[in-house]
Amino acid sequence: MDRRPIGVFDSGLGGLTAVRELTKRLPNESIIYFGDTGRVPYGPRGRDVIIKYASQDVNFLRTFDIKAILVACGTVSTTALDTLQQIYDMPLTGVVESASAKAARSTKNGRIGVIATSASIASGAYSRVIHTIDPSLTVIEKACPLFVPIVENGRFSKGDPLPELLVRDYLTELKALDVDTLVLGCTHYPLLWDVISDFMGEGVTLVSSGAEAAEYIAAELQEKDLLTDTKSAPNRYYVSDSTETFRKFASMYLQRDLDGDVEKVDIDKY
Ligand code: DGL
């Protein structure tokens, strides 16, 4: 048993989609979340900058006595996780492996679409992992760089013409290519679930990278006997920009009330 909290981070609020799933599965676990809201988005940035930002995020989380870190950011998972795992001697779980495994299990026609940020798609990480699982699968990847900014600004609801226009623009090609499984390779994208699902149609299974990663880390901690038996501390949330904006939107990502204090940190110090 291990009563220490689990650290979770993302470039912004998207990682809360993983927190939501983690809390559903492991209600007793305390979570320390960092959202780098002052520097979001990471997706259009180069690898060196993403590694620098992600290292600062990990350094900050490590100021707490945490037992593991869930890298709830597709962009960091695809471009910086290997480097972080070499630097830090602690369990760091990303979102690529578990989402890829779920997609490979789900597809019936062998055609998988992956949507993610520009950096994630440029890394080729999803495609590489899916092909390691099954080289016969066809993977079609598409960067959707405008999804993160609209989601961070609260524009993700069905009936809003902005997300509907962008979803049509980005996903028309994938739909025409007849994918039957679509990986939402960025943890912000589940907010667009209804709009994407409506557009792709009933026959297409959506895979949430944050949810799959949460399920994976929950199983891993259980297997290693690192879960707690009782909630020893409330969740805590940290951001690098306005706590007000975070408070305003967080419950939409969590699909419940925000369940902990929010504080601003100067991430440049880490
Ligand atoms: N949630 C991050 C991801 O999963 C958003 C990326 C960004 O900041 O551009 O990739």
Which of 75, 120, 141 is the pocket-test mutation for ligand 1 (most atoms within 8 Å of CB)?
Answer: 75
Pocket of ligand 1, candidates 186, 212, 239: which has the most ligand atoms within 8 Å of its Cβ, to mutate? 186
Calculate how far, in angstroms, residue 189's C-alpha sits from the geometric centre of ligand 1.
9
**114 Cβ below 6 A of ligand 1:** no
The alpha carbon of 1 and the centre of ligand 1 are apart by a number of angstroms equal to 32
Write down the residue that tokens 């706590």 correspond to.
Answer: 243
**Cα–ligand 1 centroid distance for 66 (angstroms):** 23
The answer to whether the CB of 40 is under 6 A from ligand 1 is yes
pLDDT at position 152 is 86
What single string gives the DSSP state of each residue in the chain? ---SPEEEEESSSTTHHHHHHHHHH-TT--EEEEE-TTT---TTS-HHHHHHHHHHHHHHHTTS--SEEEE--HHHHHHTHHHHHHH-SS-EE-SHHHHHHHHHHH-SSSEEEEEE-HHHHHHTHHHHHHHHH-TT-EEEEEE-TTHHHHHHTT---TT-HHHHHHHHHHHHHHHHTT-SEEEE-STTGGGGHHHHHHHH-TT-EEEEHHHHHHHHHHHHHHHTT---SS--S-EEEEESS-HHHHHHHHHHHHTS---EEEEE--GGG-
Q: Is 32 left (phi over 0), alpha (psi -120 to 50) or beta?
A: beta
Dist CA 258 CA 19 (whole Å): 11
Question: Is residue 253 within 6 Å of ligand 1 at its C-beta?
Answer: no
Any ligand 1 atom below 6 A from CB of 210: no
210 CA: nearest ligand 1 atom: 4
CA distances from 178 to 75, 109, 194 (A): 26, 9, 19
pTM of the full predicted structure?
A: 0.95
Check pocket membership of 10 for ligand 1, CB cut-off 6 A.
yes
pLDDT of residue 239: 98
Distance 148 CA to ligand 1 centre (A): 7
Catalytic amino acids? Answer: 73, 186
Pocket test for ligand 1, best of 17, 33, 42 (most atoms within 8 A of CB): 42
The list of the chain residues with pLDDT below 70 reads none
